[in-house]
Every structure is written in structure tokens, then in C-alpha cells.
Amino acid sequence: MERVMMLFLEVLVVAALLYGACVIVARLAFPLPPLNARGESRAIAASEETTLGSLVAEGQSGHPGKTGVLGIPDGRGAVASRLLLARRAEASIDALYYILNGDTSGRLLLKALFEAAERGVRVRLLLDDNGTEGLDETLAVLSARDNFEVRLFNPSPVRNPKFASYFFDFFRMNRRMHNKAFIVDGAVAIVGGRNMADEYFELTDEGFFVDLDVLAAGAVVPDTAAVFDAYWNSGSAYPVESIVETADAVLPGWFTGNEAIGPHSAVEPMSQMQGSAADRFVSRDVQLEWVEAEVIADDPAKGLGKAPDGHLMIDRLRAVTDAVTSSLDLVSAYFIPGRKGLSHFAGIARKGVKLRVLTNAFVTTDVKLVHAGYAKYRRALLKAGIALSELKPEAGAISDRALISKSGSSAASLHAKTLAIDGKLIFVGSFNFDPRSALLNCEMGFMIESPVLAERMVGRFDDFAAATYSVRLDGGSLRWIETGPDGEAVHETEPGMTIVDRWFIGLLGRLPIEWLL
């Protein structure tokens, strides 16, 4: 036995040495380009000489130092708002996203940005390299145009297949920029949880994501632009042309009209900007709620694992939730509290705070591995007095008051990341309450003192009752309570799970991979 163990250790040592040698060779063969030739740029401040700047200045004149906010609950209105603002841009557009797909919504946005640059608007587009599949040539061509710059965050030096870089540069590649922001003329910003892809805007047959954005104008926008600048000029942002070969790249036909930008059934509803949040704001059909607000964000050095202590969003969110006195309502697509989070939330509940969590059920989550990380904490959370609700697929039938549209879809999945405190303070952004958002991914969002938005979010828990499973403890066993027109139905096993699913999720929950989730 001792000889076998020695042989096994020798094999491990040899394998480790071979892997180390391969890593060194791969890094030499596929280096990242130097950044010393990359220029720096800063946001263009809002000006009353632009239409949007003038409109915001007019609204802010009676609310000095305040931020005007307007929630964007519906997906189609969210993409329409971005397109309208892009078409109204006169000075600048700064956009950063974790995912920008080459589907209909992604194409519409890229074309709107292209047309803005052609009008003389300065466009800066920062994308996480994980979310740009199939767009290398398009992004490179756009970045070569006047007034248009594209940068990639933590890019893969291997372009095909990109995941190959994980094998020799895992710890950098495993850190992603999960931020979402759209800033126009330095005057108006949209921040929230939506990426630029059809499933976020209710345009796919397979279903859609329940999410929330906020349109903001006024005091918080320059600070949001400063966050963009910090990421744009960070050590993780590479000009796309330094990463992607551009020799044979040409603009796709959907830019010039030689090719359909997408199916009419998808293009037509997204192009209907009338009645969207941005349209109602620009046409003065709605009054913004003028409140105190701030943007909070991770230091972009987090993308390199070098963020200094105290410069992470989780520190700010922990401090804010520590101050809760009566109620805490948390909505998170992925919820893995970890031991520290469990202790934190349990401490809040012990103060007599009403603490409720809404997350995805097994049948609605799009990442089953994350569900395994969440499932192992359910009993402890319930024992601590924390109410748990899990979204069912039928969420498409829920009313607009619940912050989603009346699409009737039968395949909804929660993607929102919001937090309401004491019915008056709300956080909206990209931060999932899981280890990845806390420690690995770069995140951002708005913290807003708005009883109106907070009340709407608190109300969603009641509105969602018919579209959620209420998870409860019954003698130490988990039960999923489903409320319908005929009363309550009790599930003694997790809905949608087979025996194999339960075994597999239980096994995954025992693996030491929580820090990756």
C-alpha cells in the first residue's frame, strides 16, 4: 500500500510539473498585449446645449443635488428606452455590459450606436469578453470607425475557442465584469440587471427573464460616468483591435440594410419606442421621482484580484443591511449566502426584522449548479426565521405591479437583483447575493431612497404569491407550498426534481466549489 501511495504521489508531482510547463508555454505563446500605448479618456459632462442635458437641468432646477428616477419593469420597454436614448444622443454614449449577444436586441443596439457615431456622437463600448461570442469582427470594424471605441474586459488571448485561456490563465479569466450601464450625453443613465440579449427583453419563444432597470437623471449620473471611466481606463480593459485580427473584417449586412436585422416579430416590438420609460421622460409625459441616490461599484482592480480592502460592493451592502430596523426584502436570481451571509442574515432576523428572500426554484433557475449552492442553506435560513419564496415558471401571468409585463409567458426565470430596506431604501443593480458577485465578479448598482420604488418591490412578494413556492419547515422536513384558486397544495419533495436530480444536487452541494458559484 505504501508503494502504491508513493507511486500515486509521484504521478501527481509529474502531472503538476507538466501542467506548470504547459502554462508557461501557453502564456508565452498567447500573451496579452501591453497597455502602454492605450489612450485614456474621460466622460463628457452634461451640457444644457444638448436636448437631454437641457431637459435634465430643467427638472433638476427645482431639486438641486437630487436624482430623478423612473423604474423600467418591462423588457420591451427596457430595450426601447436604450434605443430611444441612443437616437437622441448628441454628445456621447458610454455603455458597459456583461453580455451583448449578436441576436436581434444586440444588433439593434449596435446599429443604434453605429448611427450615433456616424452623427458625430462619441461612443465608448466596454464589454466583458465572455459575453461577446461571435462578434469579434463586428466589434473590431466598429472600433475602427470614427467616434467609436470598443474595449474588452479581461479578454481571452485565444479567440477560438476562447475558453482555452482558462487552462493557463484561470484566476484572471475567472474574474468577470458583470456590470450593466448605459449613459447618454452625461445626463441620463440606465442601470440595472439586464444584459443586451433577447431573453432579457421577452423576445424569445423559450421564455424570458424577470428583471428591473432604473432610468436616472441628475446628481447620480456624473458619479455613474466616473465608474465607467474607472473601468474604461482600468488594467483589465483592452482595445478590441489589440486582441482581434481586423484585416478581413467588414460591417455585416444588417448595418447597411442588405440583411434583415432579425425576424419582424422581434424587431417590430423592440422598435416601438412610444410609451417606453425613456419616451415618457423625454416627452414630459411622466414626472421623475427626485430623491437621494448614489451609485455603488466594485473597484475595477477586483478584475485582477487586486482590489484594496474596503473597496468591494459587498462591504457597502453589508453595512446598509446592518442598519435595517423593520423589514428587508431581497430578490436575487442566484442566492448563496455562504456561512458568513447566513450568520449575517440570521443576526438581522434575531433583531425582529421581517426578512424575506425571493429567488429561483429548481425548475426556473438557468444555472443548476448555483441551485446546489443555495439548497444546502435552506433549512438553516428557515430555522433563523427567514421567509423563502422560489419563483415558478408561471411568473409571466403576474401583474405589472410585480415589476414584470403581462406577457403571459409560461417560462419566466428570475434575473433581478434588488433589495428593499424598511420600505424606503432600494438597491437595483447587477449584484447577485452569492460568492461570485461578492468576491470575483465586478458589480455595480444604484442605492436609492425611494418609498415609491421600495413599495413596488415590497408589493411584489404579495403579487408573486400565486407564482411562487413558499418553502417551509415541517418537523425538520422541507415543504413547498403552492397557492392556487382552490387553496394550498403541499409538495413533500422539491417540485420538478427527479430522484437523480436530488442525488446530483445533493452531491454538488457537498463539493468544495462554493467560492466559484
User: How far apart, in whole angstroms, are the C-alpha atoms of residue 126 and residue 177?
Assistant: 10
Q: Which amino acid is at 3?
A: R
Q: Which helix (H) or strand (E) holds 93?
A: strand 92-97
Is 63 part of the annotated catalytic residue set? no
User: How far apart, in whole angstroms, are the C-alpha atoms of residue 258 and residue 254?
Assistant: 6
**Residue from 111, 329, 417, 434 carrying the catalytic annotation:** 417
- Which residues, 6+ apart, have CB-to-CB distance to 461 below 8 Å? 329, 356, 358, 389
Q: What is the DSSP string of 304-336?
A: GT-PPTT-SHHHHHHHHHHT-SSEEEEEESSB-
User: How far apart, in whole angstroms, are the C-alpha atoms of residue 390 and residue 356?
Assistant: 11
Is 185 part of the annotated catalytic residue set? yes
Taking a C-beta distance cutoff of 8 angstroms, is the pair 246, 140 a contact? yes
User: How far apart, in whole angstroms, are the C-alpha atoms of residue 239 and residue 158?
Assistant: 15
User: How far apart, in whole angstroms, are the C-alpha atoms of residue 105 and residue 262?
Assistant: 9
**Residue from 111, 129, 169, 178 carrying the catalytic annotation:** 178
Q: What is the DSSP string of 106-162?
A: HHHHHHHHHHHHHTT-EEEEEEEGGG-TT-HHHHHHHHTSTTEEEEEES--S--TTG
**Residue from 422, 424, 463, 491 carrying the catalytic annotation:** 422
**Residue from 180, 302, 371, 392 carrying the catalytic annotation:** 180
Q: Which helix (H) or strand (E) holds 165?
A: none
Q: Are strands 444-449 and 293-297 parallel, antiparallel or unpaired?
A: antiparallel
Is 463 part of the annotated catalytic residue set? no
Is 491 part of the annotated catalytic residue set? no
Task: Say what angle helices 313-322 and 338-350 make with each other, to 10 degrees.
Answer: 20
Taking a C-beta distance cutoff of 8 angstroms, is the pair 196, 100 a contact? yes
User: How far apart, in whole angstroms, are the C-alpha atoms of residue 14 and residue 132?
Assistant: 37
Q: Which amino acid is at 494?
A: E
C-alpha grid cell, residue 29: 505563446
User: How far apart, in whole angstroms, are the C-alpha atoms of residue 220 and residue 228?
Assistant: 13
Is 205 part of the annotated catalytic residue set? no
**Residue from 136, 169, 415, 434 carrying the catalytic annotation:** 415
**Residue from 185, 211, 329, 434 carrying the catalytic annotation:** 185
User: How far apart, in whole angstroms, are the C-alpha atoms of residue 487 and residue 264?
Assistant: 42
C-alpha grid cell, residue 299: 473597484
Radius of gyration of the chain (CA): 24
Is 351 part of the annotated catalytic residue set? no
Compute CA 215 distance to the chain's CA centroid, rounded to the nearest angstrom.
15
Handedness of CA 338, 340, 345, 349 (dihedral sign): positive
CB count in 10 Å sphere of residue 204: 18
C-alpha grid cell, residue 218: 441628475
3-state secondary structure of 512: coil
- Which residues, 6+ apart, have CB-to-CB distance to 340 below 8 Å? none
Q: Which residues are catalytic?
A: 178, 180, 185, 415, 417, 422
